[in-house]
């Protein structure tokens, strides 16, 4: 466990098989919904919230999931699946995935076999699929960008399963924070929007999970301030669109600018769509 101050809490749980390997120092929560992990995390959060919730300097609580805390999970090779790569292939995840498949296909193994195109797969032996190999050639990249993407049904099921696991975990801890301390705000970082032509964070978490959550008060966004931010018509509109998305759905947005470029009043007016 690592704690920096009452506003931030990180609880690593390193019992997983990651693909590809990621330095452990970069991992904030490798696995979702492990009962023992939730049990001890709940104890830590409860003790921390009860200790600090009446402190006059406390503004609120910050809950995060995912690599870099920006909900960019499940991950995968950067071009194919939109992130730097972070998948859990532990025995625990495999067991949960097989249970999830049984429910998804109504305990009908024939439906599973037809969907996966594999007459030998069952709810007892279904494996967690691996990402496609990383793209290294330009021609392959062009073909991929103009193609249908990863069409494997088992990959789609695996992605959907991980998203639901992540939401279950988020809701569990978000509810705990707000139950213990309903008088302070709870913030969470949304995944980054599509920043460049080739790379975005795909299937990380539906934005509506934040919009409709009764526990999340403020959504965080951490745009990088670069020299070309104000001249690039696509990048310039990202912060504005992000804020407007949540503003029109009743959620507040907090921006933390990343970078060393000084912001001017005129640049803020540009972001707001003003002249």
The structural domains of the chain, with segments of one domain joined by +, span 2-91+165-221
Of 259, 225, 242, residue with least CA distance to 191: 242
Task: Examine the pLDDT at 15 and tell me if it is beyond 50.
Answer: no
Q: DSSP strand E in the chain: where? A: 2-5, 8-10, 60-63, 185-189, 218-221, 252-255
Integer Cα distance of 100 and 37 in angstroms: 20
What's the pLDDT band for 220 if we cut at 50, 70, 90?
A: confident
Residue 62: how many CB atoms within 10 A of its CB? 19
Q: Is the distance from CB of 67 to CB of 84 less than 8 angstroms?
A: yes
Integer Cα distance of 157 and 212 in angstroms: 24
What predicted TM-score, i.e. pTM, was given to this entire model? Answer: 0.75
Task: Examine the pLDDT at 261 and tell me if it is beyond 70.
Answer: no
116: Cα within 13 Å, side-chain hemisphere = 24
- pLDDT (average), residues 109-132: 94
């Amino acid at each position: 466990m690592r704690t920096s101050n009452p506003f931030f809490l990180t609880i690593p749980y390193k019992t997983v098989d990651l693909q590809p390997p990621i330095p452990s120092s970069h991992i904030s929560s490798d696995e979702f919904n492990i009962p023992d992990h939730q049990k001890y995390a709940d104890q830590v959060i409860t003790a921390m919230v009860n200790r600090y919730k009446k402190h006059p300097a406390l503004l609120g609580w910050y809950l995060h999931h995912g690599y870099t805390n920006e909900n960019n999970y499940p991950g995968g090779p950067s071009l194919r699946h939109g992130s730097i790569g972070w998948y859990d292939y532990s025995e625990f995840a495999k067991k949960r995935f097989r249970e999830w498949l049984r429910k998804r296909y109504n305990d009908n193994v024939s439906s599973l076999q037809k969907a996966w195109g594999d007459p030998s797969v069952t709810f007892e032996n279904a494996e967690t699929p691996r990402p496609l190999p990383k793209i290294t050639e330009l021609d392959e990249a062009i073909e991929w960008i103009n193609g249908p993407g990863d069409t494997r049904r088992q990959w789609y099921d695996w992605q959907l399963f991980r998203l639901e696991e992540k939401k279950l975990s988020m809701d569990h801890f978000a509810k705990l924070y707000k139950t213990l301390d309903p008088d302070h705000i709870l913030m969470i970082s949304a995944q980054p929007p599509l920043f460049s032509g080739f790379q975005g964070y795909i299937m990380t978490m539906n934005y509506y999970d934040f919009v409709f959550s009764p526990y999340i008060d403020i959504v965080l966004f951490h745009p990088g301030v670069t020299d070309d931010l104000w001249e690039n018509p696509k990048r310039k509109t990202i912060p504005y669109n992000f804020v407007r998305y949540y503003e029109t759905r009743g959620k507040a947005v907090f921006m933390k600018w990343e970078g060393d470029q000084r912001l001017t009043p005129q640049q803020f007016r540009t972001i707001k769509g003003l002249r």
